[in-house]
Amino acid sequence: MDNKIFSASNWKKLVSEEREQRQNREFFFKIADPGKYEIWADIGCGPGFFTLPLAQKVTKVFAIDISNEMLGICKRRAEEQQLENIEYIKSEGVVISLEDDSVDDVLLVNVFHELQERSKVVKELNRILKLNGHAFIIDWKYEKMDFGPPLEHRVTIQEVTRDLATNGFTFVQSWDIYEIDYVLEFKKM
């Protein structure tokens, strides 16, 4: 297994109260303003930390992950909350099994630094997003910390912006709402 990928055996850390304190989802939802009639894709959904509350706000969420185990945990947690508007998709490498122009917005939370072929994934984001759709990237700030992945695994804001700008996206805005993560918004043009 790639040493940059978060182990499914540690999934409870991804839905802990500690994570809610450091990455309050409502802060993100205030800026992203997910609409009732929108379709979102949560790429690297894990156990559904963002997926489940997002599903309460929009028409549909595609929960996408490379791990069958994480998808199963996400599904079980959604069923416990009686959420029925989530579709679970196993990602095979860089290919995202969705139709062209099929989602309004995409979200990648603490995933971008794990990607081996970022440019190919960004091209897939562009393909599945509708025109003028938004890509939200939340990832670890490029700072040395005692928490999170090592610095050499992290990706700078400049690298993320370059990766998206060279693949059909325009930078919209960044928000400093989290202490240890940046939040970037891009628009498909």
Averaged pLDDT in 10-residue chunks for the chain of 189 residues: 54 72 94 98 96 98 95 96 98 91 98 94 98 98 92 97 98 96 97
- Residues 57-64: contacts with CB within 8 Å, 24+ apart? 57/29, 58/34, 58/85, 59/85, 60/85, 60/86, 60/87, 61/85, 61/86, 61/87, 62/86, 62/87, 62/89, 62/98, 62/103, 63/87, 63/88, 63/89, 64/89, 64/90, 64/91, 64/96
Token pair 């695994």: residue = 153
Spatial strand order of the sheet with 181-188 comes to 86-90, 60-65, 39-43, 103-109, 129-140, 181-188, 169-175
Q: What is the pLDDT of residue 19?
A: 76
Q: What is the pLDDT of residue 155?
A: 97
Written as six digits, the tokens of 130 are 């509708």
Q: What is the pLDDT of residue 92?
A: 84
Q: What is the pLDDT of residue 1?
A: 35
Taken in order of first residue, the domains within the chain and their CATH numbers are 20-188 (3.40.50.150)
Q: What is the pLDDT of residue 12?
A: 72
